[in-house]
Amino acid sequence: MLDLGSNTVHLLLVDAHHGAAPVPASKLKMPLRLSEHITPDGRIDTAAVDSLLDFIVRGQVMVEDLGATELMAFATSAMREAANGEQVLEQIRERTGLEVSVLSGEDEARMTFLAVRRWFGWSSGRILALDIGGGSLEIASGTDEEPDIAVSLPLGAGRLTRDLLVGDPPSPESVRDLRRHVRASIAEVVGRLRRVGEPRMAVASSKTFKQLARICGAAPATDGIYVPRTLKAVDLREVVPRLAVMSAQQRAQLPGVSEGRSAQMVAGAVVAEAAMDLLELEELVICPWALREGVILQRMDGLAP
């Protein structure tokens, strides 16, 4: 499976079949951060396109050598919103023969919700699921595998860093502007989310939430995916001001924060804090599965006998 995400381009070789959990067998990734390679006129720049094409060609060779039987490819917000997104997809088709499905924001929210539901099961009741990507924030709520509501907001950590934060560390004025923008955007959907019912469990997926949880004291990734991890609002409120006065290099020294994502951590933390506050969530349970697993699960469901 090829995931052309707004932060990272992932190629994941998965052993999967209907009724079983998808098990990663091999992977290749590139921190391309498409959401940060947008020109003033809204196009993905040439350097990013060239890097993307080279990565896909290398990935195709790898999966063929490893005996993959099918290569699925999908793209998210950076590609669907780019002024030259269709041209980039055509370049991919011409050079590799690969058809890339472009997911809508609602699709992202729905498929992430499916992955979360399958991970925690029916006993978790109504789930509220949040996911912060490079280009967008997805929120979904439901009691079944198909959510009652699925929304996508243009509040990705990469996008907001590029568009609103000034300086390294970011200026206090730009952080305040970011906070106002984020809270106003989330406030517009809070009523719709509350009307479907109070969640029994609030869940967060995505690298941004995992790194914030690690900063706040959650177990490291080396402890394995089955170790329970949570992010508490009280801890996050203490961390956000500290992150805002650090440089990207200083943030990269924090536990669990990769150098490639350290520049985006302030924006990601502001979005996470605003979402938890406005949705009145004191704790988020971290889910190891997210959008990629949801895409695989939906594909396997389609192959059911």
DSSP string, 34-73: GGG-B-TTSPBPHHHHHHHHHHHHHHHHHHHHTT-S---E
Scanning the structure block, which residue is given the tokens 């609602």?
106
35, 68: one domain = yes
48, 154: one domain = no
Write out residues in the chain with pLDDT < 70, as ranges: 304-305
In a domain, 304, yes or no: no
As beta bridge partners, residue 202 has: 128
275, 260: one domain = yes
Identify the domain boundary among 42, 72, 102: 102
Nearest to 173 by CA among 244, 238, 240, 242: 244
249, 184: one domain = yes
67, 211: one domain = no
232, 157: one domain = yes
168, 266: one domain = yes
> Taking the C-alpha atoms of 115, 116, 118 and 122 in order, what is their torsion angle to the nearest 10 degrees?
-150
User: What's 25's domain CATH number?
Assistant: 3.30.420.40
Task: Say what the pTM is.
Answer: 0.93
Nearest to 208 by CA among 287, 117, 119: 287
What is the model's pLDDT at position 249? 97
214, 260: one domain = yes
Identify the domain boundary among 102, 135, 161: 102
The number of folded domains in the chain is 2
198, 241: one domain = yes
In a domain, 305, yes or no: no
115, 253: one domain = yes
User: What's 137's domain CATH number?
Assistant: 3.30.420.150
- Give the full edge-to-edge strand order of the sheet including 201-205: 149-153, 137-142, 127-132, 201-205, 283-286, 230-232
Identify the domain boundary among 83, 102, 121: 102
In a domain, 23, yes or no: yes
278, 141: one domain = yes
What is the model's pLDDT at position 305? 62
220, 150: one domain = yes
In a domain, 298, yes or no: no
In a domain, 253, yes or no: yes
In a domain, 302, yes or no: no
The boundaries of the domain holding residue 235 are 105-292
What is the model's pLDDT at position 270? 98
